[in-house]
Amino acid sequence: KAGVTQTPRYLIKTRGQQVTLSCSPISGHRSVSWYQQTPGQGLQFLFEYFSETQRNKGNFPGRFSGRQFSNSRSEMNVSTLELGDSALYLCASKTAGGGTDTQYFGPGTRLTVL
């Protein structure tokens, strides 16, 4: 089975622009979560989608949004980019989305904001 894939792997944007990152979960997985990893703040939970609905949300401003499609693929969008948005963005998927399911992480998208 193929793992979680994220595209693109690397991205460079300038302040004020917006960006869309994509995540394809493992086949059969219906839950997708997004995380931001920075040297300053560490690993932080952004949001989780399950069956096209946002199920949980972390403490991030409204500039960060996401969605999930009927095939479970997910996208996250960051509008009006700031320098502090430079980070590794990780996506993770799990099966039915239950509390005890194991999450599998993708390799991440490295976003640099200039």
CA-based angle 112:38:2, to the nearest 5?
A: 80
Q: Using the rule CB under 8 A, which residue among 43, 82, 84, 112 binds another protein?
A: 43
Among residues 67 and 79, whose Cβ is nearest to another protein? 67
4 binds another protein (CB under 8 A): yes
| C-alpha distances out from residue 87 to 101, 109, 110, Å | 26, 8, 6
Q: Using the rule CB under 8 A, which residue among 34, 50, 78, 85 binds another protein?
A: 50
Among residues 22 and 79, whose Cβ is nearest to another protein? 22
Cα 46 to chain centroid, rounded: 7
